Structure formats: C-alpha cells, structure tokens
Structure 1
Amino acid sequence: MSGHARERLNEDFSNPVRLSLMGSLRAVDEADFKTLKETVGISDSVLSRHLSALEAAGYVRIKKGYVGKRPRTWAKLTSSGQEAFAQHVQALKEITGLA
C-alpha cells in the first residue's frame, strides 16, 4: 500500500459516537437499542440518528420486532461494516505506532 495510513481512515467513523457504536457492535453478534444507548452514553435521538447513518452507509443492519408486546430495535454489523471498521482500526494503529 502506498501513502500515509491517514488516507485509509474512514470518514464515516470520524464522529466519536459512530466510532463508539462500531466498536460496541464489533464486540457482540447484535445489540438492542437500550443496551447501545447505555453503553455509549447517548440519548435515544442521537443513537437513532447515528444508527440510521451507519445503516444508510451499509455498515449496520437494523432489525425491528417485539419482545412480548413491547417494540424492540436491534443493530448488527454487516460484513462490509466489519471489514470497513477493521481497516479503519488498522489505520489508526499504524498512525499511533501500535501496529
């Protein structure tokens, strides 16, 4: 690969909330909305906005359903999301000298 590692950073993950969401989802098969909200420490509206952006980019798959009579939303990384995030993290490691 040529060029500096910063050229391989993914702009979709430059926002700290999105970076946190991707990292949280990478650690699990899927996570429900409430768990993500509590893990990242953000409001419902902020979480919804950022999940929608990640879904539109093809990095996250959103699934809606019910547990009993209560509506639930789950999020899961797509395979392209896993790959894009791994490449972003690798570039960060190279930039910081941790690779």
Structure 2
Amino acid sequence: MTVADRAEEGFNATIHAPNRLRICAMLESADQVEFGLIQERLDVSASVLSKHVGVLMDAGYVEQTKAVRDTRQRVWLSLTKTGRRAYQAHVAALRAIVGEAPDEVRRSAE
C-alpha cells in the first residue's frame, strides 16, 4: 500500500475542517469536555461551535450529555467509539501525508 493509499483511506473531510479537528483533538484526550471550555479554547462563539458540533453529531462522531450543575444546565461533549476511530484514522492519514515524503522531495527541501 502506498503513502497515498494510506492517506486516502483514513482521510476524513468531515473532521478535517480546522475547528472540527480541534474539537475532536480535545475530546480524544478526555472522556467528556464541557461545551463552554471548548468554546473558550477555540475562541469561537456559541453558535459557531454549535454548528461544528452539529456536523460531528450528524456524522455520529460526537454525542452530548446535558446536566444541571450550580443551578445551570451544562452541555458535555464526548467522542463516540465511531468518532474516536474516525479521528485516529484521520490523524494517521495526515501523518502519512506529511511524514513520508518521497526522497526527491526531501532532497529538494534540504
């Protein structure tokens, strides 16, 4: 299997959008992350984050849990098993793209 084949196999256009990639990266490192924390870290409005989360939920990659905490309703996000596999495959595809440049490309960069 060539580098291009490996990259194409795992590349995921849904996850690849910068904010969605960052959301998945945050969720991959924890069981659940509060919506407000993700919003703060990404420095986006609630509506922008909601739109990206909606795309990931529609794909079956993210799920949300609502809970009351300190008398306020909080939304917690987490990757589904499918989402975790898709994110990890996408990261592997990106690594294949950037990590295994043909020799002639490496030589010209030096």
* TM-score where L is the length of structure 1: 0.90
Q: Residue 74 of structure 1: CA displacement?
A: 0.5
Question: What are the Cα deviations for residues 9-39 of structure 1, in whole angstroms up to 9, with x where unaligned?
Answer: 1010121010110011111110001111111
* Structure 1 match to 2:62: 60
Runs of 4+ displaced beyond 4 Å:
none
Contact 2:3–2:96, Cα closer than 8 Å, also in 1: no
Q: Which has the higher helix share?
A: 2
**2:27 partner amino acid:** L
Identity %: 36
**1:84 partner amino acid:** A
Q: Which runs of 5+ in 1 are unaligned?
A: none
* TM-score where L is the length of structure 2: 0.82
Distance 1:76 1:34 in 2: 13
Instruction: Select the structure of larger CA radius of gyration.
Output: 2
